[in-house]
Structure formats: structure tokens, C-alpha cells
Amino acid sequence: MRRYIVQRILLTIPTLLGVATIIFVLMRVVPGDIVLLRYAGEGAFVTQETIVQERARLGLDQPLWRQFADWIWGAAQLDFGTSMWTGRPIVSEVALRFELSLQLAVMAVIIAALVAVPLGVLSAIKAGTSVDYLIRVFSILGLALPSFWVGIVLILLLLSVFHWSPPVTFTPLRVDLGENLSQLIWPALVVGYRYSAVATRMTRSAMLEVLREDYIRTARSKGLKESVVMVRHALRNALLPVITVFGLEFAFLLGGLVVTEQVFNLNGIGKLTVEAVVRRDYTMVQALVLLMASVFVLVNFLVDMAYAWLDPRIRFR
Amino acid sequence: MSLGSNGKSTRIWSGATAALLAFGLTALGACAQPAPAPAPAAPPTAAAEQPRAGGQLTFIVGAEPPSFDGHRETTFAMLHPTAPHYSLLLKFDQNKYPAIMGDLAETWSVSQDGLTYTFKLRDGIKFHDGAALTAADVKATYDRIVAPPQGVVSSRQASYAAVLEKVEAPDPKTVVFKLKQPSAALLSNLASPWNFIYKAQALAQEARFPEKNILGTGPFRFGEYVPGSHWTGTKNPDYFQKGRPYLDGFRAVFIREASAQVAAVRGGRAQIEFRGFTPPQREDLVKALGKDITVQESPWVCVLVVSMNTEKKPFNDPKFRRALTLALDRWEGSKALSQIAFVKEVGAVMRPGSPFAMPEQELTKLAGFGKDAAAAKAEARRLIQEAGVPEGFSFALTNRDIPMPYEPVAVFLIDQWGKVGLKVSQAVRESSPYLQDLRGGNYEAALDFNCDFMDEPDLQLIKFLPKEKSPINYGRYSDPVLDDLYTKQSLETNPERRKQLVWQFERRALDEMAYQFPTLWWQRIIPHSSQVRGWRITPSHYLNQDLTDVWLAEK
Amino acid sequence: MLRPAGAWAHRAAGATSPRTGWLRSFVRRQQLGAASGAVILLMALVALLAPLVAPHDPLETSFLLMLRPPSPEFPLGTDAFGRDVLSRIIYGSRTALLVGFSTSFVGSSLGTVIGVASAHFGGKTDLLAQRVMDIFLSFPLIILAIAVVAVLGTGVLNVIVAITVPIVPRVARVVRSSALAVREMPYVEAARALGASHRRIILRHMLPNVMAPSLIMLTAYLGQAILLEASLSFLGLGVAEPVPAWGLMLRGAGTQFIERAPWLAIAPGLAISSTVIAFNLLGDSVRDALDPKLRVA
């Protein structure tokens, strides 16, 4: 077990290094120039000399290997430098947004789990009945509606029915719970619904599969109560694939809610990422991608641990 | 929907008029007496409203300030949150644009030869840290703009460097600008919204101090800035203009997505956005909020220009370029597009309605600006044939990935060119590669833009100057005729003679050679909460953002 | 945005043998799926015959006909440029189906090949391939999309590239775990013992036996790709005007005309949703039909 964990942790190093290399190369292959955008972007009259000077100030005139080495060396010591666009430290810029993104992701997962697990189980138990069909339609709709569209319509509904719109700036949970929730609950519902659609379907098919296993039959024939069979035996095993999906999606939720963040004007990681890429803010993009990859790797690791805990058959080699 | 009827757009000027009136009354000291019966022309709400002190204004900013340095940055996203913290030497009068008034300067005079400008500063001006502002601070500021020290970028250096010889501060209250040559545009350039007056001592210690710090003499002191979220300011009790500002403070909230901006105004989360909304958004807001919304509109000193790479075939042929501009039915396009996008007026290089603009009878003589669209299209087809370009010839129109108003204008162009037998596709590029392509000549035709803080031939004509002189002309042509005309008009201080020179320039650039041509001029539309008073729209979203006279009426 | 089909990862593929009359049996057993298949077929037909079916030219603008509500002449109304919405929906199905099919087909084929090869060779090759797939999995999709658009510009082909790349590692991961199970099957071991070439083992023995999960992933990603195209268009990273595309139509409608001209938003919204639902239902049925363990009595 310990050996497995150590091995897994060691294996993340090449993955993260690979991600770091790819994003570094990718950003420099992609056309565009942060200095040009800044000074010519609004049509100002800026000379080529100024542009060359500014590029030098940002270290963009250095040879690529030098830029890469400097960056990796810094990143290894958790020093990500400053944003090329704003000149502020990257760690503080990211920390500000991370809180919101993390909270939104957690809320969306909770909503999704609260919806998906009971519905999925019910759908499996009542397979083939009208209840099953109703649940399936509900979940398929969640997959079929573009989330930006659901978001825009939701805001419009709030406006036309209640003449109210959600707050436009973020208030941390610890400062004011009500204000915080009145902003984040809406995007969390939109994302949670979509997310629950995937999970409901997953829970349903996993339950169906488990319900046909021998040990369920054995448990039933032992005369155990149906609810005990369902929760202790069936659900416990059916949750394995569901957890996988939740894990992978959670990592995605942290950085991938670009569209939702735009529609609800959330100051999150996704918006920051898009802005940084569009501005060609290399240092910022590199740090963000590394952060998202690390979260992904970490969550994957936790998912595997959860597997081991839920399924004693899995043994670590 | 009838063509050309603009009856749907509601234009309510009450807010501005009220402010104007109130402003006038206060100035006359008449505010203590009950106002006489309102003038019949004034809207009922405008009757002798007295500005109310207090309250916090919340406004939307569509992007974020890259740094806080006005001399360096070029985006409104920097100006809107920071302008209330600073003063300028002169500023544009919001009620009498393009007239200029003093900000820090109380009076000024110009020498007979037009080479010496002397400014007297007001009394009792204090920086937010308590230090008194003197002429030395103004000098240090302009020295930094004209000749920035190592490591500092001054984005509008060229507007001043060619003209200014030196700036002197003979005594603490006097600033003297010495010019190399007379300049018609100097005073307005000294009212540039970008030229925040910084503290000399702070600049001496760290030339890049203003990039990350706010230290001005403006009506509001800096509160806090949370990147991506908001920016706040609080009333400056030591502001040099007594009784101002009216507001206790302001809060700028950053909202990028247009639909979220509209939702915020509609839901009362913000009172105003200072850049501009589209006509459909204006109508949605008016419909939903009725009299709680006030709409101010103004033509805008911004225009999308069709730029062509004159080094590439067939764009090197003036006949073909002329055909492209002839094919556009601007007058009909204006009626249609002004319903769905913030573009409206038909004009040449100078904004229609501005002091140097061509009158309509002159304008309609230019290729592509005439009122007989069918004849123009026939002429375009003839020219295309003459240029040896086959029917169905296809090329790509490089466009920027900003939907409003780039996308509707591009659809319009592609449609119009389709009607003279050209197959045009749109190549939408992100801002950064777009600029790279345009500067590098890596395009055939492109939708380019020209946007300035005031109507001034020196600024608007630069777009058309030969590439050696203008880093923002992407047409890759050189024309000594244009070069010569530009210099002549810039030196000409007689407005009538200058106008003729500007028109000559426009005819040469748009008609004879058809190097580049404007599409439709932008229309600035600001639907805001009727509570917001004392702010009047101007033709530029860069101007008039210090919020000195803004106040909030009771709900 | 892209759903990794993790559930299949832990499940070894049951070896299915090709059946005769599979279509008839599929239609009988999977009625919903068959109906969805029919809907998709119809859409494909409409897309193919668009010039014959569409009542108007999807690109023809008219200033006199801007924002007209639905009428006999324009059954779904006209858009902000006076273009016929129905014709744009019909032509837009070409973009949607092209993006959906090509991304999921190319993505799952590539993923399958990598997954099978990785499982077959095992050892260092497998480890390396897995690391590379991990890198791609943990790479944010949106950055990739912007990069593709920045390099290649907007356009259908570039949208396809941007959506295909993230599909590959997801399919490869699932297929690999199925292939690992197949590798241990007696007949594969026998073939190996007999000295069959890598090529032969992969093509003849392993590939046919991982077709089930591969096909399931393919149908699952069909709908997702169409949805993703809409999201990319919303961010301005999709197809450019005036090319008719559903996501593009929805973006303009949603941000500008949702109250004044709701028909502009309803039509492409319905088109996207019904296509995604049809592909999902078809995918469900394909999965049920291919995976005997899951068949509901």
C-alpha cells in the first residue's frame, strides 16, 4: 500500500513536467504578442522601438531555453513570478479566484450528488417503468441544453419574474453567507444539473449491473431487508464508477466553467484562464495550467484511494 | 418594421438637461430661491432640481485596467476606474463639447506667435497624501509624457514630442509650455483624459510609481481594488472645487459579458455603464424599467475602417479598391445596422457633425458615399472588370473576434460585396494575432478601427498617413501628397483654411486613391438609471469620467 | 464539457461475435434507439439535400426583412440581417453533423488504436503512452481550443481539431483497460505463442474485441461534440459568420435578441437539443445492444 502511494506520487512528476513543457511550447508557437496587444490593441500610436523595449523588459527577448529553465526552476520552488499583463504576483491573483471556483465546484458536486444518486437508484429499481422513463428524460435534457443558454434564460427569468438579479461581485462565504449564496447558487444549479445528468445515468447503469450480481441474490436469499441489500450491498458497489466520473469532473469544474463564469459574471479561474491566454500572458497561463493539471492529478489519486476503500477486491500491487 | 423609421429608439435627455439646468442655477447662486415656473421646453422633472449630496455610484467596466498608469495605458478599462482619482491641466466641458475648461488651470493665455502657452494654477490644490500641488508637478508630468525615462512607456508621446519644445515652472503657480511650431491642436491635447497630473516627488523616487499606486488630486480617494471584481473610491474632502464631489464614493464593478452587464443594470446591481450598449439592449432596458431608465445617445469618435493590403493583388489596383467602397450602400446600411448594432452615421475620415467634418453635399460626391446605390454598384462592377478581376473572385476579410460591432459590420460588407460578384469570407482572429497579421501585412482586406478621445484631424488622419509615419496604417502604401496635406493642416491655425485642407486629404485618401475607407461611424448609447444625474454623454467614452458633478437623485 | 466515460473503464469488454440480422434485432429490442437513429438519418438526409430542402438562400440578407416573426414565407422567422432562420437551421445541420461525426469518429479511432497498442505492447511502451495520455487529460480543453483557433483561425476544420484532440486520450484510456482484459484471453495468448506478428494480433484478435467500448464511446461523444461546438461559438472560438451554424445563431440570439425576437433563440436551441438527445438515446441503445450484461429484461 505505501509503496503504491509512493509510486503514484513519483509518477505525477513526469506528468506535470510534460504538461509544463507542452504549455510552454504551445504558448510560444501560438501567434500573438502581449506587448502588441497592450499598446496597439486600442489603436494607439506606439512605435516599434517601444514594443521592442517592452518585450525586453518582460524577458521575451531571452533565448527560449533560458526562459524555460527560469520558469521551471521557479515553479519547482513554487515561485511563479508576476503576471506579464498586470505585473502583480501570480499567486495572489490566482488565490483570489481560486476561492470562488473551489466553492462553486463543491456546490455543484453536492447538488449533483444529491440529485443523481437517489434518482439513479430509483431509476434502476424501477427500470422499464414510467418513473424510469421520466428520470431518464430529465437527465438527458440536462445533457442536451447548452449551459450558457440555460444560464442566460435563468437570469432572464429571475429578472422578469422577481425583478431581481444576482450580485455581480463575490462575497466570501465567511463574510456573508446569504450574499455569497445568492450569487453562487444559480450557477451551481445550472452546473449541478448538467453534472447530475451524467451521474444519474452512470448510477442507473451501474446499479442495474450490480443488481444482477450473485452476491445480491445471495444477500436477498439470506432474508436481508431489501433496504439493507440496496444500500449496503448494491449501492456501495455501484458507486465505484460514479465516483470516477465525479472525480474527473471535479477537476474539470475548477477550471472549465468558462462559459458559465462569463454568463453569471463570476470572477473565477476559468475567466482568468481565458483572459490570460487571450492576452498571451505567458507566465499566468503557465501557472494556471500547472495548477489545473495538479488538481487533476491529485483528484485522480484520491479517486483511486476511494476505490480501494469501497472495493476490498482491489489490491495494490 | 418600416425602413428608416427610428421611432423605436427612445431618447430621453431629461437627466442631462436637469443637470445642466441645476448646474447653471447653482452657479448663479439662485438655488436658495424657489424656481420660477419651468420653461416650456424643459421636461417636467428638470424643474430646478438641486443636486443632492451623498450616495454611492456603482458603474460597470467591461474590462480591467492592465496597470493604473494613464500615460502608459490605452484602454478605457484603465480610465473609468482611475479618472475620478486624478486631475488634468485642462478638461473638456461635458456641457459644451468640444469646448475646453480649466481643471487644475484657472486661466491661461497664448502668446501672439502661438509659441508660448502660460497657465495659472488654482489655489489650494492638494494631493491625497496632503502635499500641495505646484507647477513643478505639472512640469514633471509633461516631461514624463514627452520624454519618458528609461523603462517608462508613454503611449501618446508622438502627439506632444513633435510640437513641444519644453515645459517650464517659473513659479509654483505658473506653468509655461514652449512650442517648436504653432499647433492647432495643443490646447485640446492638454485636455487629454490620459494626462493625469502626477506628483513630481513620487515620480522622482520611482518613475513607474503610477503603475501600481494611485496618488492624485482628483475628487475621489482610492478605496480598494480587487482584481477581476471591483474598484472603489471615496469622496476627497480636500478637493479643490468646493462643494464637490456630490457622491460619497463610487464602486466600479468589472463585468465582461454584455448580457450580464444589461442584467446588472436591469436588476439594479449597477446604475450605469459608460462605454455603450446596443440598440436592442437599450430597448429591452427601456421596456423593462420604463421611467427608471434614462437614455443618452451621442455620435461616437470611433469608426470601423476597411483596410486593404496594397502590396497584394488585386488590392494594389486603385480601381479595385474604389470598386470595393463603391459597392457599399452606406445610407441604407445605416438604417438597417443602426437597429441591431451601435453604428449609425455615414461619414468620411472626420466624424459627421464634428467641426471639421465634410457637409453632406460634399460627402456624397465621394466614391461609395453617394445616394444612388444602384449606379454605384454598376460602376463598381465595371471597375472590377476593368481591373481584370474575374466574376466570383474570392478573398478573406480579416476581422477581430469582438462581436460588437465588428461582426454585424462584416456581415454587411460581405453581403454588399456579394452583390457586385465578389465572394468574401470572414477570417475572425483573436485580438493579438489580428494585430500581428495587420502589422505584418499578412492579410488581404481587414476590418480595422480608428477610435480617439476627441474630434481632431491630427488624430483621425494619422490612420491614413504613409506607413513610415504611422504605425497604425496597415495599408502598406506611401503617398507624399497625403503626407504634405497632413503637415499643412496641422500647422494651419485658421479653422476655415484648415477645414479645406482636411477635406482635400479625405478626397485624396478615400476617393482618388481609395487606400482605406470608413464603414459607418459608431453611435454611443448609454441607458442608465434615472437616479444618475449630472453626467452628460460626450462623443468619446474616454472623456468626462472624473465624476465631479455626478449626483444621485432619490429613488 | 467533455464527459469522460469512466464507467466503462473498469469493465472488461464481453467478447461479442458479429451477428447476422443485427439491424432487425436492434430495431426490435431498442425501439427508442431505433427511432433516434431514424431521426438522425433524416437529419443527415436534410443536411445532404440542403439546397433542395431549404426555402431560401441561408446567406441572403435583406434590410427590409429584419427580425420578422414566423410567417408562412419564413416559417421560423428571420434574423437580424433578414436571413431566413429555417434555411440557416437546415444548412447549419451540415456544420453540426460534420463536426459531430468527424470529431467522434477520428477521436475514437485514434484513441482505440493507441489504447489497443498500449495494452498489447505493455511494459515501457504502455507506461509512456499512459503518461502522455495523462498529460493530455489534465490539459484544460479551453486553452487547447484557443490555441487551435489562434494558429489556424476560426472555421469548421479548426473546431474539429479543437474538439478531437481531447477525445483521443479519453477513449484511449477506456479502450486500454478493455484491451488489457482481452490480452489475457486464451486465444490471444495462443496466437502470441504461435509467433503471430504484432500487426496480426492487434488487427485480427484485439481490435475486433474492443469494438464494443469503442463504438459506445463514439456514439456518446457525437452529441457532446455538437454541444461543445455551440459553447466554442459562444466564446467566439467556433465558426465565423456568415457560415450558418447553430451555436453561432444561438450566441447572437442569446446575448442580443432574446426578448425582442425569441424565435431566433428557440429554433437553434431546439435543433441542438433534439440532436443531442437523439445521439444520446442512440448511444444508450448501442451500449445496451453491445453489452449483454446490461440488457434490461
Q: Per residue in A256-303, pLDDT tens? A: 688 888 889 999 998 899 889 889 999 999 999 999 888 888 888 887
Place of cell 427610428: B6
Nearest CB neighbour to C241, from listed B281, B340, B410: B410
C175: nearest Cα among C214, C215, C123, C225 = C214
pLDDT at C43 over 50: yes
Tell me the three state secondary structure of residue B171: strand
In chain B, CATH 3.10.105.10 covers 299-523
The pLDDT-based confidence of B92 (bands split at 50, 70, 90) is: very high
pLDDT tens, position by position, B468-514? 788 889 999 989 999 999 999 988 889 999 999 999 999 999 999 99
**Contact between C223 and A156 using a beta-carbon 8 Å cutoff:** no
pLDDT tens, position by position, A61-105? 899 999 999 999 998 888 899 999 988 999 999 998 999 999 999
**Residue C194 identity (one-letter amino acid):** L
pLDDT tens, position by position, B151-164? 899 988 888 988 99
> Residue range B541-553: average pLDDT?
95
A166: nearest Cα among A150, A176, A175, A179 = A179
* Closest CA in chain C for residue B256: C235
- Give me the pLDDT at residue C292, please: 53
Distance CA B330, CA B337 (A): 10
The pLDDT-based confidence of B261 (bands split at 50, 70, 90) is: very high
User: Higher model confidence: residue A4 or residue C167?
Assistant: C167
A6: nearest Cα among A235, A301, A209, A272 = A301
pLDDT tens, position by position, B338-387? 999 999 999 999 999 999 999 999 999 999 999 999 999 999 999 999 99
- Give me the pLDDT at residue C264, please: 86
> Residue range C3-31: average pLDDT?
53
Q: Does A278 touch chain C (CB under 8 A)?
A: yes
- Give me the pLDDT at residue C20, please: 53
- Which domains occur in chain C, in start order? 23-53+75-290 (1.10.3720.10)
Q: Does A14 touch chain C (CB under 8 A)?
A: yes
Question: For residue C224, which residues of chain A lie inside 8 Å, CB to CB?
Answer: 143
CA distance A130 to chain C (A): 14
* Closest CA in chain B for residue A39: B74
A213: nearest Cα among A316, A113, A305, A313 = A313
Please report how the helices A2-29 and C141-152 are oriented relative to each other, as an axis angle in degrees rounded to 10: 20
- Give me the pLDDT at residue A222, please: 79
Tell me the three state secondary structure of residue A279: helix
Here the cell at position A128 is 422499464
- Give me the pLDDT at residue B70, please: 95
Here the cell at position A237 is 458497489
User: Higher model confidence: residue B123 or residue A223?
Assistant: B123
**Contact between C131 and A15 using a beta-carbon 8 Å cutoff:** yes
The pLDDT-based confidence of C156 (bands split at 50, 70, 90) is: confident
**Contact between C9 and A244 using a beta-carbon 8 Å cutoff:** yes
**Interface subset of C 226-265, CB within 8 angstroms of A:** 227, 230-231, 234-235, 247, 250, 254-255, 258-259, 265
For residue A258, the tally of other CB atoms under 10 A from its CB is 27
Nearest CB neighbour to C3, from listed A198, A240, A241: A198
**Contact between C149 and B340 using a beta-carbon 8 Å cutoff:** no
pLDDT at C287 over 90: no
pLDDT at B220 over 60: yes
Distance CA C251, CA A263 (A): 11
pLDDT at B7 over 50: no
- Give me the pLDDT at residue B40, please: 36
The pLDDT-based confidence of A197 (bands split at 50, 70, 90) is: confident
The pLDDT-based confidence of C6 (bands split at 50, 70, 90) is: very low
Place of cell 454598384: B377
- Give me the pLDDT at residue B19, please: 38
Q: Does B187 touch chain A (CB under 8 A)?
A: no
CATH 3.90.640.10 fits B64-217, yes or no: no
Question: For residue B415, which residues of chain C lie inside 8 Å, CB to CB?
Answer: 59, 61, 81, 242
CA distance A296 to chain C (A): 6
- Using only C-alpha atoms, chain C has a radius of gyration, in whole angstroms, of 22
Residues sharing a CB contact under 8 Å with residue B92, sequence separation 6 or more, in sequence order: B98, B99, B100, B101, B188, B191, B193, B454, B538, B543, B544
Cis preceding linkage at C244, omega within 30? no
Distance CA C67, CA C70 (A): 9
- Give me the pLDDT at residue B10, please: 34
Q: Does A141 touch chain C (CB under 8 A)?
A: yes
- Give me the pLDDT at residue B520, please: 96
CA distance B108 to chain A (A): 28
The pLDDT-based confidence of C16 (bands split at 50, 70, 90) is: very low
- Give me the pLDDT at residue B44, please: 40
Nearest CB neighbour to C63, from listed B332, B399, B418: B332
Q: Does C157 touch chain B (CB under 8 A)?
A: no
- Give me the pLDDT at residue C191, please: 84
Distance CA B383, CA B245 (A): 59
The domain segmentation of chain A, as residue ranges, is 2-76, 92-316
- Give me the pLDDT at residue B18, please: 37
Distance CA A279, CA B121 (A): 41
Here the cell at position A276 is 490570460
Contact B169, B135 (CB under 8 A): yes
Nearest CB neighbour to B255, from listed A34, A53, A265: A265
Here the cell at position B497 is 483654411
pLDDT tens, position by position, B238-259? 999 999 999 999 999 999 988 8
pLDDT at C194 over 80: yes
Q: Does C126 touch chain A (CB under 8 A)?
A: no
User: Higher model confidence: residue B237 or residue A244?
Assistant: B237
Distance CA C142, CA C108 (A): 20
Tell me the sheet residues that pair with B116: B178
Q: Which of A61-70, A136-145, B344-353, B524-533 is predicted with the least confidence, judged by mean pLDDT? A: A136-145
- Give me the pLDDT at residue B503, please: 97
**Contact between C256 and B339 using a beta-carbon 8 Å cutoff:** no
- Give me the pLDDT at residue B455, please: 95
- Give me the pLDDT at residue B29, please: 34
**Residue C199 identity (one-letter amino acid):** R
The pLDDT-based confidence of A313 (bands split at 50, 70, 90) is: low
Q: In B178-242, where does DSSP find H-type helix? A: 186-190, 200-205, 209-212
Q: Does B270 touch chain A (CB under 8 A)?
A: yes
CATH topology of domain A92-316: MetI-like fold (1.10.3720)
Question: For residue B432, which residues of chain C lie inside 8 Å, CB to CB?
Answer: 150
Question: For residue C257, which residues of chain B lie inside 8 Å, CB to CB?
Answer: 280
Q: Does A245 touch chain C (CB under 8 A)?
A: yes
pLDDT tens, position by position, A149-184? 888 889 989 998 999 999 999 999 888 999 999 999
For residue C73, the tally of other CB atoms under 10 A from its CB is 11
CATH 3.30.1240.10 fits B299-523, yes or no: no
B190: nearest Cα among B115, B76, B102, B68 = B102
Distance CA B551, CA A142 (A): 46
- Give me the pLDDT at residue A255, please: 64
pLDDT at C9 over 70: no
- Give me the pLDDT at residue B27, please: 36
- Give me the pLDDT at residue C179, please: 82
pLDDT at B46 over 50: no
> Residue range B514-523: average pLDDT?
96
Nearest CB neighbour to A39, from listed B155, B431, B462: B155
Nearest CB neighbour to C143, from listed A11, A202, A277: A277
Of these ranges, A134-143, A224-233, C214-223, the one predicted with the greatest mean pLDDT is A134-143
CA distance B213 to chain C (A): 32
The pLDDT-based confidence of C291 (bands split at 50, 70, 90) is: low
The mean pLDDT value of chain C amounts to 81
- Give me the pLDDT at residue C198, please: 83
Q: Which of B307-311, B550-554, C292-296 is predicted with the least confidence, judged by mean pLDDT? A: C292-296
How many residue pairs bridge chain B and chain C with CB atoms within 8 Å of each other? 75
Q: Does B161 touch chain A (CB under 8 A)?
A: no
* Closest CA in chain C for residue B258: C255
Query: What phi-psi label fits residue C16: left (phi over 0), alpha (psi between -120 and 50 degrees) or beta?
Result: beta
Tell me the three state secondary structure of residue B520: strand
Here the cell at position B37 is 415656473
pLDDT tens, position by position, C198-255? 888 888 888 887 877 788 778 778 888 888 888 888 888 888 888 898 988 888 776 7
Residues sharing a CB contact under 8 Å with residue C14, sequence separation 6 or more, in sequence order: C212, C291, C292, C293
Distance CA B46, CA B37 (A): 11
Q: What is the DSSP string of B88-128?
A: -SEEE-TTSTT-EEESSEEEEEE-TTS-EEEEEEPSS-B-T
User: Higher model confidence: residue C199 or residue B231?
Assistant: B231
Q: Does C254 touch chain B (CB under 8 A)?
A: yes
**Contact between C257 and B280 using a beta-carbon 8 Å cutoff:** yes
Which of B430, B438, B447 should we substitute to test contact with C (largest number of C Cβ atoms within 10 Å)? B430
**Contact between B74 and A39 using a beta-carbon 8 Å cutoff:** yes
- Give me the pLDDT at residue B23, please: 36
- Give me the pLDDT at residue C233, please: 83
Question: For residue A297, which residues of chain C lie inside 8 Å, CB to CB?
Answer: 134, 138
Q: In chain A, where does DSSP find H-type helix? A: 2-29, 34-40, 48-57, 64-76, 90-125, 130-144, 147-162, 177-211, 214-221, 226-228, 236-256, 258-263, 269-279, 282-310
How many residue pairs bridge chain A and chain C with CB atoms within 8 Å of each other? 148
User: Higher model confidence: residue B541 or residue B30?
Assistant: B541
Distance CA B550, CA B543 (A): 14
The pLDDT-based confidence of A312 (bands split at 50, 70, 90) is: low
Q: Does C203 touch chain A (CB under 8 A)?
A: no
**Contact between B267 and A163 using a beta-carbon 8 Å cutoff:** yes
